């Protein structure tokens, strides 16, 4: 795909919100990237256009049969004032994997990435300054065809919207209380849990509501077939440090292949810390704790980077991990990853991608 | 809820399409019912308003986390010219069950049903004349709040749109070829398959695409845990007549409780035909065929009422059912159900509900 990206200028720019009021996903920048799909044209008319409401027919298929998918990534402001992305080609690839599973037409990954860079370059003044902040990037695709038959739509719209985001943590990482869910499941093999389909998140709300009610920060999901193997924590992948070795659930088909997960694994290998991807049962986790070998537990995802788990409750048993303190390894990974993302540390893996005028 | 339903008149009515061009889900009537929800007001501002496009922010939660649910029912034109609904209170109840699972606020079922009746009365001239036609009724709810955090939305919109629909069948019921799917699954216990969540349908498209490619009309879904027990056929519930007895999968939690399914069961009991709700494995179905006891197989749902299965393929084995002819029982149920729906047959169950001015 080698299309010209048109630019539609807005009349007046918005006022930028104060950094300490940002939170997550509330404010959006002046412009967005939009592209249309029609089965007769393929993807066409890529444009950077004012961020504004869209108009859809009540019969637009996205409202009825849920063909809606997304990605989540961040642009960081480096010390030298340039914008930087973290492994964005992985998000482009995963977007296409999601498209494939949800019968949405494939996107040209290189084209989309260069269009996103152009958008971010246009909006570079929106990347917040300040510890832990970033510009959140949300690509998404929805089925727009006006038709009520159950089949893949023939018309779609792709959007990329940008939202300046505040720091996830205050001055330090916060260990959280987690609850092992046995009634509700997130995903099953043969289903859609390995992709970023909108419906997965709607389906997860009920369990999150239950966790909130019971006073837990997040859910630890078990596999749907046996209710036995650990899958993910909230919307993050999960890692266990047991007796000096790190274990994370292997990608069996119901787990989202996180970019952060993959990066943590590479980092551990680079550091010569043993790391294994394998199925791990919740019994094993509790047994390791019993033996005094469960050293650290943490979630890994774009939003928090690393989220230490301080307490884990399974039925009526609660275990406290590492005295409810951030583990050394969790802290080291967090520091290294955020250091690389912000351009403060060396990037031996070539993970970061600069956003510069020349790219576009 | 005891709210006034306001009426916003349109300037000009649309031209009604010819009955033989109707198809399904392509045309919509002049008006729709809309109602808003805000966490501070509850549901408010019910209105019958011109059918027209809606405007949403790109960050509207429905596009990202898939809180979108629906119902499907029909209004029929009876011989005396009045409009009639079929067990609509079951759809209202199921809508609320779906709301509950998807963390969407409950609706007043009686209010919604009376509002739907009012809408249909307004649009009664849109109910097509002619064998097998009906006015399809599509209530749906979407999360409209502009926010990217993963949590239940605080703002929703409910719509009821109406679409005149042509006959599903031509002059007679058509037995179809069905394919037993073993790679993809529709739903799992602990998930959302027992409710009408939009995401379920997006998740099913890939398998349907595969069935199309292989030359089958629909998928027979197996359970996700063991890939063994029959669940549904396409978007219908399924029935087997084996040696004079009728079996349908019991509602274990991953099967949609169809209104048609429930009606078929009641009808069979009324006719003193043995009917059981139990788990039935695909092996059992094939074994029954082997013994010469598999007499009829049919799907049951609002769209087709009854859809006979003529051929069933599981891996590389294909069985032909009842010589690829419509079975007597399938035909009898179809005739009885459609007879009741159209007011041509007596309604001993009080299933039908007339739509008259006085109701509203
Ligand atoms: C369900 C789920 N699991 C895991 C992740 C972590 O993935 P990533 O590291 O790519 O952000 C996410 C977030 O994107 C997610 O939504
Ligand atoms: C997945 C699924 N199963 C079964 C049915 C049949 O339900 P009903 O008889 O209420 O139309 C439907 C259609 O609504 C459906 O979507």
Dihedral sign of CA atoms B296, B298, B300, B304 in order = negative
Enumerate the residues of chain A whose CB falls inside 8 A of the CB of residue B149: 24-25
Measured in Å, residue A66 CA sits from the centre of ligand 1 at 20
> In 3D, which of B166, B209, B151 has the Cα closest to residue B17?
B166
How would you write the pLDDT of chain A (360 residues) with one tens digit per residue?
668 999 999 999 999 999 999 999 999 999 999 999 999 999 999 999 999 999 999 999 999 999 999 999 999 999 888 899 999 999 999 999 999 999 999 999 999 999 999 999 999 999 998 888 999 999 999 999 999 999 999 999 999 999 999 988 877 788 999 999 999 999 999 999 999 999 999 999 999 999 999 999 999 999 999 999 999 999 999 999 999 999 999 999 999 999 999 999 999 999 999 999 999 999 999 999 999 999 999 999 999 999 999 999 999 999 999 999 999 999 999 999 999 999 999 999 999 999 975 443
pLDDT digits (tens, 9 = 90+) for B229-247: 999 999 999 999 999 999 9
Give the residue, by CA position, lying nearest to ligand 1 atom 8. A258
Instruction: Kindly identify which residue of chain B lies nearest to residue A23, measuring between CA atoms.
Output: B149
Q: Is the pLDDT of residue B37 over 50?
A: yes
Query: Cα A207 to chain center, whole Å?
Result: 19
Greater model confidence, A79 or B250: B250
Tell me the C-alpha to C-alpha distance, in Å, between residue B215 and each of B126, B169, B184, B311: 35, 19, 17, 12
Give the per-residue pLDDT at A326. Answer: 96
Give the per-residue pLDDT at B359. Answer: 43
For residue A332 the two structure tokens come to 């080291």
- Tell me the average pLDDT across B175-199: 97
Mutate: best of B95, B145, B203, partner A, most A CBs <10 A: B203
In the 8-state DSSP scheme, what is residue A254? S
Q: B224 touching A, CB under 8 A?
A: yes
Measured in Å, residue A152 CA sits from the centre of ligand 1 at 25
For residue A82 the two structure tokens come to 């340039």
Q: Which ranges constitute the DSSP H helices of chain B?
A: 61-65, 88-101, 109-122, 198-214, 259-270, 282-290, 328-341
Ligand 1 site residues, Cβ closer than 6 angstroms? A 72, 232, 235-237, 256, 258-261, 301-302
Would you state the torsion angle of the CA atoms of residues B256, B261, B265, B268, taken in this order, to the nearest 10 degrees? -160
Mutate to test the pocket of ligand 2, among B258, B263, B265 (most ligand atoms within 8 A of CB): B258
Mutate: best of B67, B134, B148, partner A, most A CBs <10 A: B148
Q: B200 touching A, CB under 8 A?
A: yes
pLDDT digits (tens, 9 = 90+) for B78-132: 988 889 999 999 999 999 999 999 999 999 999 999 999 999 999 999 999 888 8
Q: Chain B closest CA to A135's CA: distance in Å?
A: 13
Enumerate the residues of chain A whose CB falls inside 8 A of the CB of residue B183: 190
> In 3D, which of B244, B266, B289, B286 has the Cα closest to residue B340?
B266
Q: Are B188 and B225 in contact (CB under 8 A)?
A: yes
For residue B24 the two structure tokens come to 């399904």
| Closest atom, ligand 2, to C-alpha of B255 | 3
Instruction: Kindly identify which residue of chain A lies nearest to residue B208, measuring between CA atoms.
Output: A151
Give CA–CA dist A169/A306, Å, rounded: 10
CB contact under 8 A, B152 and A185: no
pLDDT digits (tens, 9 = 90+) for A152-202: 999 999 999 999 999 888 777 889 999 999 999 999 999 999 999 999 999
Measured in Å, residue A73 CA sits from the centre of ligand 1 at 10
Domains of chain A: 6-165 (3.30.470.10), 176-325 (3.20.10.10)
Its pTM stands at 0.97
B83 forms bridges with which residues in the sheet? B77, B355
Instruction: Kindly identify which residue of chain A lies nearest to residue B33, measuring between CA atoms.
Output: A58
Q: B253 touching A, CB under 8 A?
A: no
Give CA–CA dist A104/A99, Å, rounded: 5
A to B CB pairs, distance under 8 Å? 212
Ligand 2 site residues, Cβ closer than 6 angstroms? B 72, 232, 235-237, 256, 258-261, 301-302
Q: A229 touching B, CB under 8 A?
A: no
| Closest atom, ligand 1, to C-alpha of A236 | 4
Enumerate the residues of chain B whose CB falls inside 8 A of the CB of residue A66: 66, 68, 197-203
| Closest atom, ligand 2, to C-alpha of B73 | 11
Which of left, alpha, beta for A76 (phi over 0: left; psi -120 to 50: alpha)? beta
CB contact under 8 A, A200 and B202: no
CB contact under 8 A, A161 and B136: no
Complete DSSP assignment for B170-204: SSS---EEEEEESS--S--TTSSTTS-BHHHHHHH
């Amino acid at each position: 795909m080698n299309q010209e990206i048109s630019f539609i200028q807005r009349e007046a720019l918005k006022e930028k919100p104060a950094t300490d009021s940002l939170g997550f996903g509330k404010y959006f920048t002046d412009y967005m990237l939009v592209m249309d799909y029609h089965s007769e044209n393929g993807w066409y008319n890529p444009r950077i256009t004012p961020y504004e409401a869209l108009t859809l027919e009540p019969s637009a298929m996205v409202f009825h049969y849920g063909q809606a998918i997304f990605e989540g990534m961040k642009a960081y402001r480096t010390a030298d004032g340039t914008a930087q992305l973290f492994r964005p080609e992985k998000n482009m690839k995963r977007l296409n994997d999601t498209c494939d599973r949800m019968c949405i037409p494939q996107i040209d990954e290189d084209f989309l990435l260069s269009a996103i860079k152009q958008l971010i370059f246009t909006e570079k003044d929106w990347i917040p300054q300040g510890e832990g902040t970033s510009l959140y990037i949300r690509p998404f695709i929805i089925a727009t065809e006006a038709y009520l038959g159950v089949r893949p739509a023939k018309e779609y719209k792709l959007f990329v919207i940008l939202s300046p985001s505040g720091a996830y943590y205050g001055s330090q990482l916060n260990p959280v209380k987690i609850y092992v869910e046995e009634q509700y499941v997130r995903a099953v093999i043969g289903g859609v849990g390995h992709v970023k389909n909108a419906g997965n998140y709607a389906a997860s709300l009920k369990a999150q509501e239950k966790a909130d009610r019971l006073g837990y920060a997040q859910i630890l999901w078990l596999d749907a077939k046996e209710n036995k193997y650990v899958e993910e924590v909230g919307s993050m992948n999960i890692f266990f440090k047991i007796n000096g070795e790190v274990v994370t659930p292997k990608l069996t088909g119901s787990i989202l292949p996180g970019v952060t997960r993959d990066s943590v694994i590479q980092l551990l290998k680079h550091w010569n810390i043993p790391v294994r991807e394998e199925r791990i049962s919740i019994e094993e986790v509790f047994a390791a704790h019993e033996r005094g070998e469960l050293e650290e537990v943490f979630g890994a995802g774009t939003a928090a980077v690393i989220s230490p788990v301080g307490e884990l409750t399974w039925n009526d048993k609660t275990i406290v991990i590492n005295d409810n303190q951030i583990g050394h390894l969790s802290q080291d990974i967090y520091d290294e990853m955020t250091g690389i993302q912000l351009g403060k540390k060396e990037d031996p893996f070539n993970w970061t991608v600069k956003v510069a005028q020349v790219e576009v």
